[in-house]
Structure 1
Amino acid sequence: MATVTASVQAPIVAGTPLFGSMSELLNDPLAAYLRARSRYGDVVRFRAGPPGLRRDLYAVFSAEGAQQVLATRAADFRKDNVFYEELRESIGNGLLTSQDDAYLRQRRLIQPLFTRRRVDGYAHQVADEAAAVAEAWREAPGETLELAGEMRRFALRMVGRILFGTDGEKALEVIERTMPLLQEYSLKRGMAPVKSPRTWPTPANRRAGRHQAELFALCDTIIESRRGGRGDASQDDTGDDGSEDLVTLLVRAENAEDGSLDAAELREQVLIFLLAGHETTATALAFALHLLARHPEQQKRVRDEVDRVLGGPGGRAPTAADMAELPYLTMVLKEAMRLYPSAPVIGRRAVVDAVIDGVRIPAGADVLVSPWVTQRHPEYWPDPERFDPERFTPEAEAGRPRYAWFPFGGGPRACIGQHLSMLESVLGLAVLLQAYEFEATDTGEVPLGAGVTLIAKAPVRCRITPRSRP
């Protein structure tokens, strides 16, 4: 990349005289970001909105720039932008949205719940839920599945079971119905040049209020049942293998420095885990299977690896220890997360004047980094749209900048649940590939959108064929 001086201003992306870049950012932001990087470079400025209400948005696309924003200068780029403010209002001030002392306190209390050893203890639940999906699919051999919906329900069942234990099944219907609508509501308010107060009785506000109240009541009921038994796990709080659900562990989380989480804080953490915990995994699973269905050679290689480790159709269930024995499957998953990151855009707000990648960004500016763009940057990824799991051999990974691939964010705010997501995805894929072959039915690209997470705007279809059991 060319070296520039600190006095360089970010180039302004051309838009319309009346609304600037608002239309393209609303209609197809992912394509808009890719075009902007290609035409203007690695740090650009979008201007969106009508005169008098126009806002500037700085977009940073290089791996080096992403590392500066998320890691080396993380204190200068905070979660103060309008999108986080709206999400905070909708689902609370949990790990995803909190800042400063509140965030540090939450992280210290919750980090012990996500150690590798504790997370590995959930492998049994993951394998069980994947086996239930595989068994349900056997009622429709040769049928076409819509992978985005199937994997969303599967991921929601997994995170529900891990979070709520035996209460998970009761919670799924409420979560699946209310959470996406609250996300959409928050995103629309974040994009609006002018918005009414949430207290005004508009149809959208009233509808969102009902969804929020229902979701809060569900979480509060489950948390209260755990708080009543604080100290010793009851039978209802444990899985078949004796592992405790995360809500029970959250209720008991405490230390001398930070005390414990109160009822509102517990609810906020549960809601964040529900949102982030199932969206990331669902996207990774759906598009990994989508890509394998389109690439039979790579699918066969994965299947051979799974058969060697687990014994083929009708073989044993995977465990956490098997993750190390499934390197090619892990490479496929990482490549799927490169091409289809569940969080395609990550927002921040600059709190001081800063120079990122040699370009000045003023204090108060809204800033975004984009896994969607950086993970397609031709400087790090030759032929970037091509599906190639070999990009993730240990040697290839060592030769790229750290932030050329960052689907879990990075720096001090990196996703606390990334090992859990990888465990769910690797073991879930292993079970499904052990049981089925996947065949593509559509030739075109799946149209995508960017909300709080990556959105498939059309069905993600494939045909399944059960594999013969010995």
Structure 2
Amino acid sequence: MQKTQATRPFSEIDGPRGRPFVGLAPDFLRDPISVLTEGFERYGDLVAYPFGPRRGPLRNVVVAAYHPDAVQFVLTETERTIGRGPSSTRVLGEMIGSNLMTTDGAEWRRQRRTLQPLFTPRRVAHYTELMHREAERIATEDVPGPGSEVDLHLLMLRYSLRMVGAALFSSNIDHIGPELHQLIPLTNDLIIARTTTPVRLPLGVPTRSNRRFERVHRQLYSLIDRIIAQRDGHPADEERDDILTRLRTARDPETGDGLSSQEIRDQTLLMMMAGHETTATALTFALHQLGRYQDIQDAVAGDGTDGTDGAGGTDPVSVVDHAQRRDTLTRATLLETMRLHPPVYMTEHAATEDIELGGHHIPAGTALFLSPWVTHRHPDFWPDAERFDPTRFLGAQDRHRYAYLPFGGGPHVCIGEHFALLAATVLLSTLLRHYRITVSSSEIAIQQTGNLRPDEPVLATLHPR
């Protein structure tokens, strides 16, 4: 890094002091969004957060960058001067193996080259009909009856699990739902606890926390192994074209090498866990917002085509066209929902060499936080930021590219973005064609365990249209 005369030292980055021996660790574990938001509101676009003692070898100061210019630098400098957060990435890898979320450098580039062709918009469009089929099942089979009250989050978890199961394995994996939905928040809790502990002992040391971590790790891999074995044990009547098949036949375009059995296992576990939970969360918050704002809901319900052939059947061409257009109110509603409630509300990175960020010197090895939750509310880019307004995403948008990052950005932008948006758009269009939604409360209590999710049932009444 070439320092300029205007570059200020690392020690001059403002931030809260925290407690003498633990810094902000207890506050962050309890309510990370409040810690990040209050830091931004008090100290501005670049904030230093202390974790651990104020002095000595265990002192650790993490810098959070909130302005889109700094966000862009962190995300686009990946592979040059910025890497993944070494602490969180290492712990995540201990839990779910070597995949696109836990690797870096040459290993990540090889995996990304191999997997990218599986998730292009054209390839993803292949799954539209099965998404529409599962959305229709939710609307016609899983709602108890006219005017019934349902838990929106439970309903959306069911849809996303069925949809991911069909796309990944050509299988119905409803039976694993209770086990998976119990394991995911437990997994997130254990990862956060291990990441933030000041002294992290090797997993081979049989402490109580290590034994719990290893037990959940084994449960996750037992689950994915059972699903794959069940799928492979029942040959299909016709050749499968699911994502597992494509993973097995994928090749690195530069070397021609495929993925090992362990890599396929790790990638599949990641896709099953992350793909279904984040989609379900985004849909839950979107439906809740529409339940609050009936005028917007009515407009979305009448937004373009409803994806049918006019006689109640599926028209795949119409579904694809509507779900992948960028100028629909349905899509804008999802984007605005993820602005206010990004499922991934924070990511960790690290400076791999000395850099300048926000006018300050950042030493190599410094951990860096980005927070879509905070940046999505930056008043310089989002006027009246707490207001739900899908029209922000209609028409020409003259705003900073990195003021909005629910799927990340730069080289590591989420590979599943097209898949997730398509699945969510299809469900939203289908369900609103059948029902008008009213909600029981104006707010959703949120749980901040790794990813954002509701902390209690999200009750709503579905009235047939």
The two structures share one fold, judged by TM-score above 0.5: yes
Question: Structure 1 residues 211 and 377, CA, compared in 2 at 3 Å: closer, same or farther?
Answer: same
What is the alpha-carbon distance in structure 1 between the residues aligned to residue 391 and residue 348 of structure 2?
30
Q: For 1:305-384, what aligned pairs fall within 5 Å after superposition?
A: 305=303, 310=308, 314=312, 316=314, 319-324=319-324, 327-384=328-385
Q: 1:185 aligns with which of 184, 190, 205?
A: 190
Q: Does 1:128 align with 2:133?
A: yes
The 3-state SS of whatever aligns with 2:463 is strand
Question: Structure 1 residues 71 and 322, CA, compared in 2 at 3 Å: closer, same or farther?
Answer: same
Instruction: State the number of aligned residues.
Output: 454
Q: Measure how far apart 1:104 and its partner are.
A: 1.0
The 3-state SS of whatever aligns with 1:260 is coil
Greater Cα offset, 213-222 or 96-105 = 213-222
User: Is the Cα contact below 8 Å between 2:281 and 2:454 reproduced in 1?
Assistant: no
Structure 1 residue aligned with 2:421: 422
Q: For 1:13-52, what aligned pairs fall within 5 Å after superposition?
A: 13-51=16-54, 52=56
User: Is the Cα contact below 8 Å between 1:438 and 1:462 reproduced in 2?
Assistant: yes
Structure 2 residue aligned with 1:235: 237
User: Is the Cα contact below 8 Å between 1:313 and 1:434 reproduced in 2?
Assistant: no
Q: Measure how far apart 1:186 and its partner are.
A: 1.1
The 3-state SS of whatever aligns with 1:254 is coil
Q: For 1:412-451, what aligned pairs fall within 5 Å after superposition?
A: 412-443=411-442, 445-451=443-449
Q: 1:268 aligns with which of 259, 266, 279?
A: 266
TM-score of the pair, normalised by structure 2: 0.90
Letter in 1 for 2:251: E
What is the alpha-carbon distance in structure 2 between the residues aligned to residue 463 and residue 221 of structure 1?
36
Letter in 2 for 1:108: R
Q: Measure how far apart 1:183 and its partner are.
A: 2.4
Structure 1 residue aligned with 2:281: 283
What is the alpha-carbon distance in structure 1 between the residues aligned to residue 393 and residue 421 of structure 2?
15
User: Is the Cα contact below 8 Å between 2:247 and 2:264 reproduced in 1?
Assistant: yes
Question: Structure 1 residues 369 and 80, CA, compared in 2 at 3 Å: closer, same or farther?
Answer: closer
The 3-state SS of whatever aligns with 1:189 is helix
Provide the identity percentage: 35
Question: Structure 1 residues 74 and 368, CA, compared in 2 at 3 Å: closer, same or farther?
Answer: farther
Greater Cα offset, 417-426 or 149-158 = 149-158
What is the alpha-carbon distance in structure 1 between the residues aligned to residue 272 and residue 22 of structure 2?
36
Query: Residue deviations 1:104-125, cap 9 Å, x none?
Result: 1111111111121110000011
Structure 2 residue aligned with 1:391: 392
The 3-state SS of whatever aligns with 1:166 is coil
Question: Structure 1 residues 312 and 54, CA, compared in 2 at 3 Å: closer, same or farther?
Answer: farther
The 3-state SS of whatever aligns with 1:46 is strand
Greater Cα offset, 165-174 or 25-34 = 165-174
Letter in 1 for 2:403: A
Q: For 1:67-146, what aligned pairs fall within 5 Å after superposition?
A: 67-72=72-77, 75-146=80-151
TM-score of the pair, normalised by structure 1: 0.89
What is the alpha-carbon distance in structure 2 between the residues aligned to residue 205 and residue 265 of structure 1?
24
Question: Structure 1 residues 309 and 106, CA, compared in 2 at 3 Å: closer, same or farther?
Answer: closer
What is the alpha-carbon distance in structure 2 between the residues aligned to residue 14 and residue 140 of structure 1?
55
Structure 1 gap ranges (5+): 239-243
What is the alpha-carbon distance in structure 2 between the residues aligned to residue 359 and residue 207 of structure 1?
41
What is the alpha-carbon distance in structure 2 between the residues aligned to residue 44 and residue 449 of structure 1?
24
Query: Residue deviations 1:35-66, cap 9 Å, x none?
Result: 11111110110002245433211000011111
Greater Cα offset, 51-60 or 331-340 = 51-60
User: Is the Cα contact below 8 Å between 1:4 and 1:359 reproduced in 2?
Assistant: no
Structure 1 residue aligned with 2:161: 156
Query: Residue deviations 1:116-166, cap 9 Å, x none?
Result: 111000001111111111123432432332222321232122112111112
User: Is the Cα contact below 8 Å between 1:220 and 1:263 reproduced in 2?
Assistant: no
Q: Measure how far apart 1:272 and its partner are.
A: 1.4
The 3-state SS of whatever aligns with 2:382 is coil
What is the alpha-carbon distance in structure 2 between the residues aligned to residue 275 and residue 282 of structure 1?
11
Question: Structure 1 residues 390 and 29, CA, compared in 2 at 3 Å: closer, same or farther?
Answer: same
User: Is the Cα contact below 8 Å between 2:161 and 2:174 reproduced in 1?
Assistant: no
Q: Measure how far apart 1:311 and its partner are.
A: 7.5
Letter in 1 for 2:18: G
User: Is the Cα contact below 8 Å between 1:166 and 1:236 reproduced in 2?
Assistant: no
Question: Structure 1 residues 50 and 236, CA, compared in 2 at 3 Å: closer, same or farther?
Answer: farther
Q: For 1:217-256, what aligned pairs fall within 5 Å after superposition?
A: 217-220=222-225, 223=228, 234-235=236-237, 238=240, 244-255=241-252
> RMSD of the alignment, in Å?
2.6
The 3-state SS of whatever aligns with 1:301 is helix
Greater Cα offset, 110-119 or 56-65 = 110-119
User: Is the Cα contact below 8 Å between 1:30 and 1:449 reproduced in 2?
Assistant: no
What is the alpha-carbon distance in structure 2 between the residues aligned to residue 75 and residue 235 of structure 1?
48
Query: Residue deviations 1:331-369, cap 9 Å, x none?
Result: 111000100101100110111111112222211111011
What is the alpha-carbon distance in structure 1 between the residues aligned to residue 307 and residue 36 of structure 2?
41
Q: Measure how far apart 1:197 and its partner are.
A: 2.9
Question: Structure 1 residues 456 and 391, CA, compared in 2 at 3 Å: closer, same or farther?
Answer: same
What is the alpha-carbon distance in structure 1 between the residues aligned to residue 249 and residue 378 of structure 2?
44
Letter in 1 for 2:247: L
What is the alpha-carbon distance in structure 1 between the residues aligned to residue 112 and residue 321 of structure 2?
27
Query: Residue deviations 1:12-43, cap 9 Å, x none?
Result: 22323343222321221111111111111101
User: Is the Cα contact below 8 Å between 1:306 and 1:312 reproduced in 2?
Assistant: no
User: Is the Cα contact below 8 Å between 2:306 and 2:433 reproduced in 1?
Assistant: no
Letter in 2 for 1:386: R
Structure 2 residue aligned with 1:241: none
Question: Structure 1 residues 393 and 99, CA, compared in 2 at 3 Å: closer, same or farther?
Answer: same
What is the alpha-carbon distance in structure 2 between the residues aligned to residue 288 and residue 69 of structure 1?
29
